[in-house]
Structure 1
Amino acid sequence: MAGSTRCVVVGGGPAGMVLGLLLARGGVDVTVLEKHADFLRDFRGDTVHPSTLTLLDELGLGGWFEALPHSRVDRVELPGTGGRTTTLADLSRLNIAHPYIAMAPQWDLLDLLAEAAAREPSFHLAMRHEVTGLLRERDRIAGVNYRTPDGAEGTLHADLVVAADGRRSATRRSAGLRPATFPVPFDAWWFRLPRPAHEDSVGLVPRMASRRFAVLIPRVGSYQIAYLTPKGEDLRELGIEAFRRDVARLCPSLGDRVDQLASMDDVSFLDVRMDRLHRWHTDGLLCVGDAAHAMSPVGGVGINLAVQDAVAAAALLASPLLRGRVTRAELATVRARRLAPVAAAQSVQRAMHRTLIGPVMAGRRSAPPAAVTGLLDRFPALTVASAHVLGVGLRPEHAPAFARRAPLPPRQARPARDRAAGPAQRQA
């Protein structure tokens, strides 16, 4: 690997890969450093919202994504009494190109982005390269230190470092940036169970009971299940038998297959956090995605906000990077552009925490507030407004002109991933 680059992106997640692809299409020499050997990690933001699907079209990648195994969800519902449901958000009524949320494994999306980016001569992806620290020259960040697969230490100088390494960003911490945190009343446990073909579903309906909340996300051949419990409660102490009974009580339709959870190793734990940096940059470094603002899993909007951060950063910073060093004022324009949609999304999530999930976690509620479901039933137009907020967002970003392409030819057939492997096997 060369000793210098215009921009080094720390982290090969959705934000990092989209930013790398767009900057490379703008002629910027960009290097993405990813500490893992591949993208094969489970339960990592598998919801691809309409705004991201539109972006893929603009990049000429819509056909590539459409060929990936994925399912579609076009509405979110709330449970009521007697088995009835109330629609919270109806994406099918949106007048947009993709009126649905696509459910696709994140590793497939990242492989797609990596393959498209590899066509650009100024794009470089280094897997199994872990950033260990930041280079400083005078009062400015000027690159990164990293460790190679064989344990050797290296240095990469850069005009700009972008931290896209997630909610526990070591790059952000090394830069001395500290986020403000918001209270979250729950943690999430993720697992997968089979979904027979006859159990067709295009909607999400959460299940609620005292101190328990679950969402069954329909995937190709399986349900991806988010199982929410009060903050700090460790289900591993109960053991797998008790966990199976717990799941079957909340979701009776899964009672005939919970025994396929062999042990708690088949269940992934997420310590849910919500935070936001007051300042997303320092001289020579910018934070995007979860490194700038960790989102709640409510609505599954985190991946899409991260992608939109990346698009805004590429549009605003490609020209400054081509001419040389990016100024602090130019870095500040990214936060200025993205703060409102991020803050709005977090405000909606915090309201959901306070009014619905928090009371369920505290044992005070086992159904949505009647006032909310009554309002939605009386005024169906509200379901379109909420669908727009969920699927499109307050300020959707579009690909800059320099990154747009006509639809690319179909990809060659790809080897199937081992989707039957348990999370413990995939999360190195």
Structure 2
Amino acid sequence: MSDRYETDVLVVGSGPAGALIANLLVRRGVNVLLAEKGSDIERNFRGETIAARSVLTLRELGFGPKLASHGFVELEGISFWEKGKNIMSMDYRRFPIDALPIDIPQPAMIGAFNDSSAAYPNFKLLMGYQFTSLIEEGDAIKGARLEGPDGQILEVRSRLVIAADGRFSLVRKASGLKVKITPMERDFVWFKFPRPSGWAHESQLVVKKDRHLVILPTFPDLLRIGYNLPKKGFGDARKQGIAAFRDSISDLDPRLKDLVNQHIQSWNDTSFLEIFTAEVDQWSRDGLLLIGDASHTATPILGQGVNLALQDTIYFAPVIEEALKNSTGPLPSTALEPTANVRRAHKAMVTKFQRLQEANLAQSSALGTMMRRARMRLLNLNPAKYRLMDKVMNAPHNMPMEALHGRVA
């Protein structure tokens, strides 16, 4: 490949948002170069839960058969446990949407998107290409420079650069767009082990004072578990040793004791996740757009990060196509920000709910935990809980359906 390339759109990052926006655009005849820094799309402990709204969208886009051929786990509900008692539960099958959340490894979903895109002559995928800098002329972005596997620099000229490079986005940092980073009070350690026979296909939240476990059935027959630690507490946990870590998990949920002792032998059997939210007041410049975690990093609560990212692509794809037809040169920010405003409003609603739940889970005093139990029991008895959770988990219902035209190639 030469050291210069021209395309309509350069997408940086082949995560769920980057791979899907590339696919939606190539279906519309847009020339797209998708650049991924990794040499493959393997990724672990990365947003494996896909919300029901996104499952429905992926079906409508024609990806249902490909995902089904790989296989996934359907999640039928969520429950809240304290002192061995089920305080609150919710049956996802009662939501007014013809889909359930699923758990599927990210490589399977991303692979389905990229395989579909590869059938179009106007698509190109570069693996092992790291973003290094933006190409700026005046106030506009006219492409980016990428460093290839052998250290060669590729200059990509494009009318739009889409930053889909995740929560620590290098493109966002280079763009000069202001971001507000809000650390949460806790971080997470994730781990997996075999799922016991008969384990319910539901998300479980197990709480003891200000400590909690998130337990998720994971494809094909595993449990994926997140354990909260105080902010910057991972170093202290490592100093105390893996045996103390195992004991802490078993203390929270005795059902897991034998599994933890058998399968968590070292810190290599775990994965650390720093928890924070990132909010960007402006998602675009002329020739540049941020989507997914690059523009709105969320917390793991209710697994909304991937859901928000996939919805971004549905909203922006027809807008980008239209703007490319109706303008010349770098895509103007004025064509992108109205849609960004819609997406920001939805994300703000999700973030508000997540922060309330984060504060709820951080209660450690006797009074605080008693009040938490009372709130969860009241919620459990309230029929309106389904309307509230449907709004958070399955919105928006006003998704632009014209974005869904076309089928998988």
TM-score by length of 2: 0.93
The answer as to 2:297 corresponding to 1:294 is: yes
Q: Report the CA distance shift for 1:292/1:50 in structure 2 as closer, same or farther (over 3 A).
A: same
| 1:346 and 2:351 aligned | yes
Q: Is 1:210–2:213 an aligned residue pair?
A: no
Residue 273, structure 1, aligned to residue 266, structure 2: no
Give how far 1:357 is off: 1.8
Contact kept, 8 Å, 2:283 with 2:340, in 1: the verdict is yes
The residue that corresponds to 2:362 in the other structure is 358
Measured after TM superposition, the shift of residue 399 of structure 1 is: 5.1
Which residue matches 1:40?
A: 42
Deviation digits for residues 359-394 of structure 1, max 9, x if unmatched?
24x887557713322322332x22321331243124
Change (3 A) 1:363 1:29: farther
**Equivalent-residue separation in structure 2 for 1:402 and 1:343 (angstroms):** 25
Which residue in 2 is equivalent to 1:336?
341
Q: How does 1:201-240 map to 2 (within 5 A)?
A: 201-219=200-218, 220-234=220-234, 235-240=237-242
C-alpha separation in 2, matches of 1:161 and 1:367: 50
3-state SS in 1 of match to 2:362? helix
Q: Secondary structure at the match of 2:216?
A: strand
Q: What amino acid maps onto 1:241 in structure 2?
A: A
What SS class does the counterpart of residue 141 from structure 2 fall into?
strand
Equivalent residue, structure 2, for 1:417: none
CA contact under 8 A between 1:79 and 1:368: conserved in structure 2?
Answer: no
For the structure 1 residues 45 and 364, does the alpha-carbon distance in structure 2 shift closer, same or farther, using more than 3 Å as the test? farther
| Per-residue deviation, 1:110 | 0.7
Q: Counterpart in 1 of 2:161?
A: 161
CA distance in 1 between counterparts of 2:173 and 2:123 reads 26
SS in structure 2 at match of 1:63:
helix
User: Are the structure 2 counterparts of residues 144 and 120 from structure 1 closer, same or farther at C-alpha, using a change threshold of 3 Å?
Assistant: same
- Whether the aligned pair in 2 keeps the contact of 1:131 and 1:145 (CA below 8 Å) is yes
Residue 305 in structure 1 maps to residue 304 in structure 2: no
Change (3 A) 1:33 1:368: farther
1:22 matched to 2:24: yes
**What amino acid is the match of 1:128?**
G
Partner of 2:92: 91
RMSD over aligned CA atoms reads 2.0
Contact 1:190 1:225 in 2 (8 A): yes
Q: Contact 1:20/1:117 (CA < 8 Å) preserved in 2?
A: yes
Q: 2:403, 2:222 → 1: CA distance?
A: 39
Higher RCO structure (Cα 8 Å, ≥6 apart): 1
Contact 2:190–2:224 under 8 Å retained in 1: yes
Provide the rounded CA distance (Å) in 2 between the counterparts of 1:398 and 1:304: 16
Alpha-carbon separation, structure 1, partners of 2:185 and 2:368: 14
Mark the runs of 5 or more structure 2 residues left unpaired by the alignment.
none
Going from structure 1 to structure 2, the CA distance change for 1:102 and 1:396 (only over 3 Å counts) comes to farther
- Distance in 2 (alpha carbons) for counterparts of 1:72 and 1:61: 16
Q: Distance in 1 between matches of 2:336 and 2:288?
A: 8
1:241 Cα deviation after fit: 1.4
Question: Cα 1:134–1:395, aligned 2, differ >3 Å: closer, same or farther?
Answer: farther
**In structure 1, how many angstroms separate the alpha carbons of the residues matched to 2:107 and 2:98?**
24
CA distance in 1, matches of 2:367, 2:187: 18
1:396–1:147 Cα change, 3 Å: farther
| 8 A contact 1:144–1:156 mirrored in 2 | yes
Please give the secondary structure, in 2, of the residue aligned with 1:391.
helix
Provide, for residues 184-204 of structure 1, a one-character-per-residue CA deviation record: whole Å limited to 9, x for no partner.
1110101101113x2331222
Amino acid aligned to 2:64: G
